[in-house]
A = this chain, B = another copy of it.
Amino acid sequence: MLSKTQSKYIRSLALQKFREEKQSYLAEGEKIVAEWLQSDEKIEYIVGLEDWITLQAPLIRKHPEALLIKVTEDELKQISTLQQPNKALLVVKRQPQKPLIHINDWCLALDGIRDPGNMGTILRIADWFGISYVFCSPDCVDALSPKVVQAAMGAHLRVTVYETDLPALIKSSSLPAYAAVLGGDNVYQLNAPEKGIIIIGNEAKGISKEIIDLAKYNITIPRLGGAESLNAGVSAGILCALLLGK
Protein backbone atom coordinates (compact mmCIF):
# COMPACT_ATOMS: atom_id res chain seq x y z
CA MET A 1 0.00 0.00 0.00
CA LEU A 2 1.40 3.29 -1.18
CA SER A 3 0.99 6.41 0.96
CA LYS A 4 0.15 9.73 -0.65
CA THR A 5 3.57 11.09 0.29
CA GLN A 6 5.35 8.12 -1.27
CA SER A 7 3.25 8.36 -4.41
CA LYS A 8 3.96 12.07 -4.74
CA TYR A 9 7.67 11.55 -4.16
CA ILE A 10 7.96 8.78 -6.76
CA ARG A 11 5.98 10.72 -9.35
CA SER A 12 8.19 13.77 -8.80
CA LEU A 13 11.23 11.75 -9.96
CA ALA A 14 9.93 11.89 -13.53
CA LEU A 15 11.32 15.44 -13.47
CA GLN A 16 15.03 16.25 -13.55
CA LYS A 17 14.64 19.03 -10.99
CA PHE A 18 13.42 16.58 -8.36
CA ARG A 19 15.88 13.85 -9.35
CA GLU A 20 18.64 16.34 -8.60
CA GLU A 21 17.06 17.67 -5.44
CA LYS A 22 16.43 14.17 -4.04
CA GLN A 23 19.51 12.56 -5.61
CA SER A 24 17.34 9.65 -6.72
CA TYR A 25 15.98 8.22 -9.96
CA LEU A 26 13.56 5.58 -11.23
CA ALA A 27 14.26 2.17 -12.75
CA GLU A 28 11.22 0.46 -14.24
CA GLY A 29 10.19 -2.67 -16.08
CA GLU A 30 10.71 -6.27 -15.06
CA LYS A 31 14.01 -6.83 -16.84
CA ILE A 32 15.60 -3.55 -15.78
CA VAL A 33 14.39 -3.90 -12.19
CA ALA A 34 15.89 -7.39 -12.02
CA GLU A 35 19.25 -6.10 -13.30
CA TRP A 36 19.29 -3.34 -10.69
CA LEU A 37 18.36 -5.74 -7.90
CA GLN A 38 21.25 -7.99 -8.90
CA SER A 39 23.63 -5.02 -8.67
CA ASP A 40 25.13 -3.26 -5.67
CA GLU A 41 23.20 -0.04 -6.32
CA LYS A 42 21.62 1.53 -3.27
CA ILE A 43 17.89 0.98 -3.64
CA GLU A 44 15.53 3.22 -1.71
CA TYR A 45 12.10 1.77 -2.61
CA ILE A 46 11.15 -1.52 -4.19
CA VAL A 47 7.59 -1.19 -5.46
CA GLY A 48 5.88 -4.21 -6.98
CA LEU A 49 2.73 -6.20 -7.58
CA GLU A 50 2.08 -9.00 -5.09
CA ASP A 51 2.88 -11.89 -7.46
CA TRP A 52 6.07 -10.19 -8.62
CA ILE A 53 7.21 -9.71 -5.00
CA THR A 54 6.60 -13.38 -4.26
CA LEU A 55 8.52 -14.47 -7.34
CA GLN A 56 11.46 -12.13 -6.79
CA ALA A 57 11.78 -12.66 -3.03
CA PRO A 58 15.38 -13.94 -3.21
CA LEU A 59 16.53 -10.88 -5.17
CA ILE A 60 14.55 -8.50 -2.97
CA ARG A 61 16.20 -9.96 0.14
CA LYS A 62 19.55 -8.80 -1.24
CA HIS A 63 18.42 -5.23 -0.44
CA PRO A 64 17.45 -5.02 3.23
CA GLU A 65 18.08 -1.26 3.10
CA ALA A 66 15.16 -0.78 0.68
CA LEU A 67 11.59 -0.09 1.68
CA LEU A 68 9.38 -2.75 0.07
CA ILE A 69 5.95 -1.51 -1.02
CA LYS A 70 3.26 -3.85 -2.35
CA VAL A 71 0.95 -2.10 -4.81
CA THR A 72 -2.08 -2.85 -6.97
CA GLU A 73 -1.95 -2.47 -10.76
CA ASP A 74 -3.87 0.80 -10.45
CA GLU A 75 -1.41 2.19 -7.91
CA LEU A 76 1.54 1.20 -10.12
CA LYS A 77 -0.09 2.87 -13.10
CA GLN A 78 -0.35 6.12 -11.16
CA ILE A 79 3.36 6.30 -10.38
CA SER A 80 4.77 4.70 -13.54
CA THR A 81 6.37 6.67 -16.35
CA LEU A 82 5.76 3.80 -18.78
CA GLN A 83 2.79 3.75 -21.11
CA GLN A 84 2.33 0.08 -20.27
CA PRO A 85 3.30 -0.13 -16.60
CA ASN A 86 5.09 -3.30 -15.80
CA LYS A 87 5.17 -5.23 -12.54
CA ALA A 88 7.73 -3.34 -10.55
CA LEU A 89 9.55 -0.06 -10.10
CA LEU A 90 12.57 0.99 -8.09
CA VAL A 91 13.68 4.26 -6.59
CA VAL A 92 17.46 4.24 -6.69
CA LYS A 93 19.89 6.58 -4.93
CA ARG A 94 22.28 8.35 -7.29
CA GLN A 95 25.90 7.48 -6.78
CA PRO A 96 28.00 10.54 -6.03
CA GLN A 97 30.06 11.46 -9.10
CA LYS A 98 33.48 9.89 -8.60
CA PRO A 99 36.53 12.05 -9.14
CA LEU A 100 37.60 11.71 -12.76
CA ILE A 101 40.50 9.37 -13.14
CA HIS A 102 43.00 9.59 -15.94
CA ILE A 103 41.36 8.04 -19.00
CA ASN A 104 43.54 5.83 -21.13
CA ASP A 105 41.07 3.87 -23.25
CA TRP A 106 38.37 4.56 -25.84
CA CYS A 107 35.56 6.72 -24.51
CA LEU A 108 32.58 8.64 -25.86
CA ALA A 109 31.80 12.34 -25.44
CA LEU A 110 28.32 13.70 -26.21
CA ASP A 111 27.96 17.33 -27.16
CA GLY A 112 24.34 18.31 -26.58
CA ILE A 113 22.50 15.02 -27.17
CA ARG A 114 18.90 16.04 -26.40
CA ASP A 115 16.80 13.01 -27.27
CA PRO A 116 16.45 10.52 -24.38
CA GLY A 117 16.13 7.61 -26.83
CA ASN A 118 19.43 8.56 -28.46
CA MET A 119 21.14 9.00 -25.10
CA GLY A 120 19.94 5.60 -23.93
CA THR A 121 20.93 3.95 -27.20
CA ILE A 122 24.42 5.46 -27.01
CA LEU A 123 24.90 4.24 -23.42
CA ARG A 124 23.82 0.77 -24.59
CA ILE A 125 26.37 0.95 -27.42
CA ALA A 126 29.10 1.97 -24.95
CA ASP A 127 28.08 -0.99 -22.79
CA TRP A 128 28.23 -3.37 -25.78
CA PHE A 129 31.68 -2.22 -26.86
CA GLY A 130 33.08 -2.22 -23.33
CA ILE A 131 33.49 1.56 -23.16
CA SER A 132 33.68 2.55 -19.48
CA TYR A 133 33.20 6.32 -19.69
CA VAL A 134 30.66 8.50 -21.48
CA PHE A 135 31.20 12.24 -21.03
CA CYS A 136 28.21 14.54 -21.46
CA SER A 137 28.19 18.29 -22.01
CA PRO A 138 25.96 20.13 -19.52
CA ASP A 139 23.25 20.67 -22.18
CA CYS A 140 22.75 16.94 -22.77
CA VAL A 141 19.48 15.37 -21.64
CA ASP A 142 19.71 14.00 -18.08
CA ALA A 143 21.16 10.50 -18.36
CA LEU A 144 19.00 9.37 -15.43
CA SER A 145 15.67 10.37 -16.97
CA PRO A 146 13.25 7.43 -17.08
CA LYS A 147 13.31 7.23 -20.88
CA VAL A 148 17.12 7.11 -20.94
CA VAL A 149 17.18 4.39 -18.27
CA GLN A 150 14.65 2.39 -20.34
CA ALA A 151 16.57 2.70 -23.60
CA ALA A 152 19.97 2.01 -22.04
CA MET A 153 18.89 -1.49 -20.92
CA GLY A 154 21.10 -1.67 -17.86
CA ALA A 155 24.11 0.20 -19.25
CA HIS A 156 24.06 2.54 -16.25
CA LEU A 157 25.28 -0.33 -14.11
CA ARG A 158 28.47 -0.76 -16.15
CA VAL A 159 29.12 2.56 -17.89
CA THR A 160 30.06 5.69 -15.93
CA VAL A 161 28.39 8.86 -17.16
CA TYR A 162 30.19 12.11 -16.40
CA GLU A 163 28.73 15.54 -16.92
CA THR A 164 31.67 17.74 -17.75
CA ASP A 165 32.98 20.62 -19.82
CA LEU A 166 34.01 18.89 -23.05
CA PRO A 167 36.55 21.47 -24.31
CA ALA A 168 38.35 21.28 -20.95
CA LEU A 169 38.25 17.47 -21.09
CA ILE A 170 39.77 17.38 -24.57
CA LYS A 171 42.45 19.94 -23.69
CA SER A 172 43.49 18.09 -20.57
CA SER A 173 43.49 14.60 -22.05
CA SER A 174 46.48 12.89 -23.56
CA LEU A 175 44.13 10.98 -25.89
CA PRO A 176 43.22 12.38 -29.31
CA ALA A 177 39.61 13.42 -29.98
CA TYR A 178 37.66 12.16 -33.00
CA ALA A 179 34.84 14.56 -33.93
CA ALA A 180 32.03 12.96 -35.97
CA VAL A 181 31.14 15.54 -38.60
CA LEU A 182 29.68 15.71 -42.11
CA GLY A 183 32.35 16.36 -44.70
CA GLY A 184 35.35 15.24 -42.62
CA ASP A 185 37.96 12.60 -43.37
CA ASN A 186 36.77 9.15 -44.39
CA VAL A 187 36.78 7.05 -41.21
CA TYR A 188 37.62 3.93 -43.25
CA GLN A 189 40.95 5.45 -44.21
CA LEU A 190 42.21 5.78 -40.64
CA ASN A 191 44.73 3.03 -40.35
CA ALA A 192 44.95 1.35 -36.92
CA PRO A 193 43.46 4.39 -35.14
CA GLU A 194 45.00 5.30 -31.80
CA LYS A 195 42.70 5.10 -28.76
CA GLY A 196 40.75 8.28 -28.17
CA ILE A 197 37.60 10.21 -27.41
CA ILE A 198 34.80 9.77 -29.95
CA ILE A 199 32.62 12.88 -30.01
CA ILE A 200 28.98 12.77 -31.12
CA GLY A 201 27.10 16.03 -31.62
CA ASN A 202 23.63 17.39 -31.14
CA GLU A 203 20.87 15.89 -33.30
CA ALA A 204 20.25 19.12 -35.23
CA LYS A 205 23.36 21.26 -34.85
CA GLY A 206 26.10 18.65 -34.68
CA ILE A 207 29.26 19.36 -32.67
CA SER A 208 30.08 22.93 -31.59
CA LYS A 209 32.79 24.69 -33.57
CA GLU A 210 35.03 25.06 -30.51
CA ILE A 211 35.11 21.29 -30.03
CA ILE A 212 35.59 20.53 -33.73
CA ASP A 213 38.62 22.83 -33.70
CA LEU A 214 40.05 21.08 -30.63
CA ALA A 215 39.65 17.59 -32.10
CA LYS A 216 42.70 15.97 -33.65
CA TYR A 217 40.54 14.13 -36.21
CA ASN A 218 37.35 15.22 -37.97
CA ILE A 219 35.85 12.00 -39.25
CA THR A 220 32.90 11.06 -41.45
CA ILE A 221 31.06 7.87 -42.32
CA PRO A 222 30.92 8.27 -46.10
CA ARG A 223 27.44 8.61 -47.56
CA LEU A 224 26.76 6.25 -50.46
CA GLY A 225 23.08 7.19 -50.97
CA GLY A 226 20.68 10.08 -50.62
CA ALA A 227 19.99 10.57 -46.89
CA GLU A 228 20.97 13.91 -45.43
CA SER A 229 22.37 12.44 -42.22
CA LEU A 230 22.39 9.44 -39.92
CA ASN A 231 20.70 9.28 -36.52
CA ALA A 232 23.08 10.20 -33.65
CA GLY A 233 22.78 6.77 -32.00
CA VAL A 234 23.43 4.93 -35.25
CA SER A 235 26.46 7.14 -35.99
CA ALA A 236 27.86 6.41 -32.54
CA GLY A 237 27.38 2.68 -33.10
CA ILE A 238 29.04 2.70 -36.50
CA LEU A 239 32.02 4.74 -35.30
CA CYS A 240 32.55 2.45 -32.31
CA ALA A 241 32.34 -0.56 -34.63
CA LEU A 242 34.82 0.92 -37.09
CA LEU A 243 37.28 2.41 -34.60
CA LEU A 244 37.41 -0.12 -31.79
CA GLY A 245 35.26 -3.08 -32.75
CA LYS A 246 36.98 -6.33 -33.63
Contact = CB atoms under 8 A, between A and B. Distances in A.
A127 B234 contact: no
A225 B245 CA distance: 11
A188 B245 contact: yes
A154 interface: yes
A151 B227 CA distance: 12
A121 interface: yes
Contacts of A233: 121, 231, 233-234
A221 interface: yes
Given A117-B117, A238-B237, A245 B230 contact: no
19 contacts: A126-B225, A127-B227, A128-B221, A128-B230, A129-B223, A129-B224, A130-B225, A153-B227, A153-B229, A154-B227, A155-B227, A158-B225, A158-B227, A188-B246, A224-B245, A233-B234, A237-B237, A241-B241, A242-B242
